[in-house]
Amino acid sequence: MPDQDRVVMRTATVEERVDAIQAALDAKGYKTQEAVEDLSHKAQEEWIPRNGARMVARAWVDPEYRKRLLANGRDAALEMGFQMPKHHRHLVVLENAPNVQNVICCTLCSCTAFTLIGLPPDWYKDLQYRSRVVRESRTVLEEMGLKLAPDVEVRVWDTTADTRYMVLPERPAHTAGWTEEQLAAIVTRDSLIGVARL
Ligand SMILES: [Fe+2]
């Protein structure tokens, strides 16, 4: 076959595909650049674990708020001015106890209550975590640095599109007399997912 008839096939790079999709959407009048900037702003500045941490701290100092939080997490989040997308129809808040450790996962993909606990970390989306935490939760937690006594019951909760979870960790004993602000500062993302204790 003469050289000029050869067709060289090449797969487009991710960047080229993104540009092509963006150009197609822009041609239809969607403002893709603005949407991308808005989304990354929200992901970095607004959807942060600090929100969930503040809800936990409030629950630790205000027994009435704690009751409302456990009864209807979504309303309790909105009450503090935090947003949840419409399709996050339920926020179930899971209360830890000395002998109960709640852990969240999403076996199908990567769902979290991301406006409250932040976008999911890479390990949460990893097939290893998603498949193993439901079958050998105690071992997985130990590998992640959380060694639980044998009498602690581990409860694993599998997130769905419309039902999101957040763990309410136990308040550490050494924090008596702390302000809500001080308390919020010690609540970590991992403790809200349930793979760490405070
Ligand atoms: Fe998911």
For residue 106, the CA-to-ligand 1 centroid distance in Å is: 5
Angle separating helix axes 63-71 and 49-61, nearest 10 degrees:
130
| CB 196, CB 146: distance < 8 Å | yes
Going from the Cα of 10 to the center of ligand 1, the distance in angstroms, rounded, reads 33
Question: Mean pLDDT score of the chain, rounded to an integer?
Answer: 95
CA distance 95 to 100: 8
| Residues, CB within 5 angstroms of ligand 1 (ion) | 106, 108-109, 111
Task: Give the residue among 27, 51, 31, 29 at the shortest CA–CA distance from 39.
Answer: 31
Please identify which of the residues 105, 106, 137, 191 carries the catalytic annotation.
106
Q: How far apart are CA 95 and CA 75, in angstroms?
A: 17
Q: Is 111 an annotated catalytic residue?
A: yes
Contacts of 46 (CB under 8 A, 6+ apart): 83, 115
pLDDT confidence tier of residue 10, bands split at 50, 70 and 90: confident
8 pLDDT band (50/70/90 cuts)? Answer: confident
- For residue 107, how far is its CA from the centre of ligand 1 (angstroms)? 7
pLDDT digits (tens, 9 = 90+) for 95-123: 999 999 999 999 999 999 999 999 999 99
Q: Is the pLDDT of residue 165 over 90?
A: yes
Distance from the alpha carbon of residue 3 to the mean position of ligand 1, in angstroms: 50
Is the pLDDT at 194 greater than 60? The verdict is yes
Percent of the chain surpassing pLDDT 90: 89
Question: Phi/psi at 120 (nearest 5 deg)?
Answer: -65, 135
**Of 109, 131, 137, 191, which residue is the catalytic one?**
109
Mean pLDDT of 116-132: 96
**pLDDT value of position 1:** 53
Per-residue pLDDT reduced to its tens digit, 142-158? 999 999 999 999 999 99
Candidates 40, 105, 110, 131; catalytic one:
110
Tell me whether residue 105 is one of the annotated catalytic residues: no
Q: How many angstroms is it from 159 CA to the middle of ligand 1? A: 6
In terms of DSSP H, where are the helices of 28-172?
32-41, 49-61, 63-71, 73-79, 114-117, 122-125, 127-135, 137-143
What's the pTM? 0.88
pLDDT band at 49 (very low <50, low <70, confident <90, very high): very high
Q: Among all chains, which residue has been given the structure tokens 């990893």?
A: 126
Q: Evaluate if residue 72 carries a pLDDT over 60.
A: yes
Average pLDDT over residues 74-85: 97
Lowest mean pLDDT among 31-40, 126-135, 172-181: 31-40
Cβ burial, residue 22 (10 Å; 0-12/13-18/19+): middle
**Mean pLDDT across the stretch 30-51?**
92
